[in-house]
Amino acid sequence: MSDQSTSNSKGFDAQRDGSGTLEWADHNENIQRGCSHNCKYCFAAANAHRFKTLARVNWHTESLTANAERTKYPKRHGVIMFPSAHDITPGNLDACTRFLKLMLDAGNQVLIVSKPHTACIAHLVAELATYRNQVMFRFTQGTMDAEVARFWEPGAPAPEERLEALRLAHGAGFRTSVSAEPLLGGLDTARAVLDAVRPFVTDTVWIGKLNRPRNRVDMKLPQNCLAIEAMEAEQSDANILALYAALQGDPLVRWKDSIMHVVNDSGPTVLDCVVNDKRQGDLLVTILAPNSQAACEGAELAAENANVLLLTDIHINSHL
């Protein structure tokens, strides 16, 4: 099937009611157990360990499942996310390519999600060129700091390689998107990612917190405990509200449910504050917060991050 649009009513970035992967797609597919990227926060690794299907210490080993041997695939309504519980790596590239073509030949729309190896993406953009209108690439880029990425995602490509893969897919004419979930830092990290990827994104950049780290990361290791404590401080409610206030006007940015839960929980307070920005004069900034205290903390942080000279007026309306 070459360069044709599908009749699916839900597009790649349609507003969906679900959470997690269901914010992005209507269906998920995987063909492998385990992943050589071995990310510390991986939900699939944590679930496999919990349900005793694969020990966490063995998650880095990759083995294809029976799904990889399918010879037929149906036309499905909506978008299919592939993969969602492993990644596309040099070790499974041929199997992933075959499975992608199986889905695409049936006329499906496929969201390809990856911490990308440049060589793998070069192969995919060549092999999938005739399916271009049915595909979007969404690459995970939670930081531009190679050391931070190496700690949390020890087997995955470095941030610069992922950026090169994004350039490659964009240059080949594919729709492109970025996931900064988990965001491996705070506002400065988010801005660095946005600045780096913006020229090569056709659609959206999704931002989300590090989810349930104490349930998913091996807390028996002291270095993991320290890293999680630091991340929880950096992604406190006040800091997330400041992040939201600073970036909510960016047309590329979409918010994952982990951010919106902070914004909306507990009957949000609406805080309108006029700030005097040394670059643009008086600006009205609206902040949604769980309560008045968090709103004021968020306002102060937003003011600092906006390079304001002073906070000249605050008005709080509680919606409880």
pLDDT reported for residue 51: 92
- Looking at the fold, whether 81 and 186 belong to one and the same domain comes out as yes
- Looking at the fold, whether 239 and 269 belong to one and the same domain comes out as no
- Looking at the fold, whether 233 and 303 belong to one and the same domain comes out as no
Residue 236 within any structural domain of the chain: yes
- State which of 262, 284, 304 marks the end of a domain: 262
Beta bridge partners of 277: 281, 308
- Looking at the fold, whether 161 and 81 belong to one and the same domain comes out as yes
What amino acid occupies position 248?
Q
pLDDT reported for residue 5: 37
- Looking at the fold, whether 76 and 173 belong to one and the same domain comes out as yes
- Looking at the fold, whether 232 and 269 belong to one and the same domain comes out as no
pLDDT reported for residue 19: 64
pLDDT reported for residue 155: 98
- State which of 228, 246, 262 marks the end of a domain: 262
Residue 8 within any structural domain of the chain: no
Residue 7 within any structural domain of the chain: no
pLDDT reported for residue 10: 65
pLDDT reported for residue 9: 44
- Looking at the fold, whether 207 and 71 belong to one and the same domain comes out as yes
What amino acid occupies position 230?
A
CATH number at residue 62: 3.20.20
- State which of 212, 227, 262 marks the end of a domain: 262
Residue 11 within any structural domain of the chain: no
- Looking at the fold, whether 154 and 273 belong to one and the same domain comes out as no
- Looking at the fold, whether 117 and 199 belong to one and the same domain comes out as yes
Instruction: Count structural domains, the chain.
Output: 2
- Contact in structure between 200 and 141 (CB atoms under 8 Å): no
- Looking at the fold, whether 297 and 229 belong to one and the same domain comes out as no
For residues 121 and 170, what is the distance between their CA atoms, to the nearest angstrom? Answer: 11
- Contact in structure between 100 and 93 (CB atoms under 8 Å): no
* pTM greater than 0.85 (yes/no): no
Residue 101 within any structural domain of the chain: yes
> Which residues of the chain are modeled with pLDDT < 70?
1-10, 18-20, 266-320
For 202, the token pair is 């056709």
- Looking at the fold, whether 163 and 28 belong to one and the same domain comes out as yes
- Looking at the fold, whether 207 and 305 belong to one and the same domain comes out as no
Summarize pLDDT for 59-74 with one digit per residue, the tens: 999 999 999 999 999 9
Domain span holding position 306: 265-320
Residue 6 within any structural domain of the chain: no
